[in-house]
Each structure stands twice: as structure tokens, then as C-alpha cells.
């Protein structure tokens, strides 16, 4: 059985037939070849697959493609389409908020979600907001600094 879905990703509408069990992360990566979204676990712990679904940060491995029917998704490829980094990306670059880069797309969307809700978070609030996104390289400290820098730059 296949389901018809219509999903807008990074501003462009895609109409596709998908398996009912297809996860949104697999739709993005395998069906649309948007491989910037990463898979780091199979238990929804790591947050590497975090994207925006209708403006809300979600782990795209916890969401069926069918659930996103009619929705708008933003992936990491949609943040700097012309090569001009957005303020959160700039802040992660300036503050060395990434090393291997694998968790980074998810971290950027988790940061986006935090700053939407709280434009001037404390370090404690930042650490709490990022507890669902795992990084094995940075020890998180420069990620916290990146989020602070992004907030200071008025990013959301």
C-alpha cells in the first residue's frame, strides 16, 4: 500500500507516493536526497534528525511521513540557500560550536526552537533546552556559547 503525500520542504512542494511506515527522516534523506538531516540513533535520543515541521522543532525519526502530509518542513539545506549563513549558523562557526559536524544540523534547529521561545536564555536554560540533542565531540560548552552568541545577534 502506498499513501499520497504533499509536503513542502524548504519552500518547494513535493507530491509523492510513500509507504505508510516511512519515517519523515527517511523521506527527507532517501526520497528527496536531502542528506543534511542526520540519523544518529534508532531510539529518538540523539536529536541529529531534528528539523522544523510547521515551524516547530521535531525529531524527524519520530514522525511518519504521512503525518507531515500538508505540512511545511525546513531542513538544514533550507537555512542558507544562497550560501549566506543565517545568524545561528554564523554563531556556531564563530564560537567553534561543532567539530565533526554530525549533530550540528539538529543542534541548529534545537537552538532555533529555544530562541523562538526565549530570545535571551541563560546558560542553564540553554543546557536544559539542548538535553535532547547529543554531541560527543564538543562537551557542549562551545555549543552553549554559540547559542548565547546567536541570541546576542538577535537570531531566532
Partner 1 sequence: MATTVAAPARVFGSGIKRREDPRLLTGTARYTADITLPGQLYAAILRSPHGHARIRTIDTAAAKAAPGVIAAFTGADTEGVLQTIPCAWLVPNSDLKTAPYPPLAKSVVRYVGDAVAVVVAESAQQAADAVDLIEVDYDPMPATVDPEQAVKAGAPQLHDEAPNNIAFHWTVAGGDVDAAFKKADVIVRDRIVQQRLIPTAMETRGALAQYVPATGELTLWNTTQNPHIVRFIMSLVCGIPEDRLRVIAPEVGGGFGSKIPQIQGDFITVFCSMKLGRPVKWIESRSENYQSTTHGRDHVQDVEMAATKDGKILGLRCTVWAGMGAYLSTAAPGIPTILHGLMLSGPYQIGAVKEDVYGVYTNTTPVEAYRGAGRPEATFMLERVIDRLADEIKIDPAEVRKRNLIPPFDNGHDVVTGLKYDSGNYIGAFDKALKHVDYAGLRKEQAEARKKGRYLGIGVSMYVEICGLGPSQVAGAVGFQGGLWESAIVRFHPSGKAHVFIGSSPHGQGEETTFAQIVADELGVAVSDVRVIHGDTETTPMGWGTYGSRTTAVSGAALAVATRKIKEKAKLLTSHLLEAAVEDIDYANGKFFVRGFPDRHKTIQDIALMANVAWNMPQGMEPGLEATTFYDPPNFVYPFGAHVAVVEVDPETGHIELKRYVAVDDCGPQINPMIVEGQVHGGVVQGIGQALWEQAVYADNGQLLTGSLADYAIPRADVLPDIEVLSTVTPSPHHPLGVKGIGEAGTIASTCTVYNAVIDALEPFGVESIQMPLTPERVFGAMKRGTTKSGADLSGPRKGA
Find all residues with CB under 8 Å of 20, minimum gap 6, and list them.
Answer: 1, 3, 64, 66
Angle at Cα 65 formed by Cα 115 and Cα 106, nearest 5°?
A: 30
CB of 73 to partner 1, least distance (A): 13
Binding residue for partner 1, selected from 4, 56, 85, 152, defined by CB under 8 A: 85
Q: Mask: binding to partner 1, 88-117, rule CB under 8 A, as x and -?
A: -x--xxx-x-xxxxxxxx--x---------
For residue 114, the minimal CB distance to partner 1 (Å) is 11
Round to whole Å and give the CA distance between 116 and 98.
22
Residue among 32, 58, 79, 151 that touches partner 1 (CB under 8 A): 79
Binder to partner 1 among 1, 12, 13, 42 (CB under 8 A)? 42
Q: Is 45 in the site for partner 1 (CB under 8 A)?
A: yes
The minimum distance between CB 89 and partner 1, in angstroms, equals 4
User: Which three-class secondary structure string do you get for 39-87?
Assistant: CCCCCCCCCCCEEEECCEEEECCCCEHHHHCCCEEECHHHCCCCCCCCH
Amino acid at each position: 500500500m502506498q499513501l499520497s503525500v504533499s509536503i513542502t520542504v524548504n519552500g518547494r512542494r513535493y507530491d509523492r507516493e510513500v509507504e505508510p511506515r516511512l519515517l519523515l527522516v527517511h523521506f527527507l534523506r532517501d526520497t528527496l536526497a536531502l542528506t543534511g538531516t542526520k540519523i544518529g540513533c534508532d531510539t529518538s535520543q540523539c536529536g541529529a534528525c531534528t528539523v522544523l515541521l510547521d515551524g516547530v522543532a521535531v525529531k524527524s525519526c519520530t514522525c511518519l511521513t504521512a503525518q507531515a502530509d500538508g505540512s511545511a518542513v525546513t531542513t538544514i539545506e533550507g537555512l542558507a540557500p544562497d550560501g549566506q549563513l543565517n545568524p545561528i549558523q554564523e554563531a556556531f562557526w564563530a564560537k567553534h560550536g561543532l567539530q565533526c559536524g554530525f549533530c550540528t544540523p539538529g543542534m541548529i534547529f534545537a537552538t532555533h526552537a529555544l530562541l523562538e521561545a526565549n530570545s535571551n536564555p541563560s546558560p542553564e536554560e540553554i543546557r536544559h533546552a539542548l538535553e535532547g540533542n547529543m554531541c560527543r565531540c564538543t562537551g557542549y560548552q562551545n555549543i552553549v556559547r554559540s547559542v548565547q552568541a546567536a541570541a546576542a545577534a538577535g537570531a531566532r
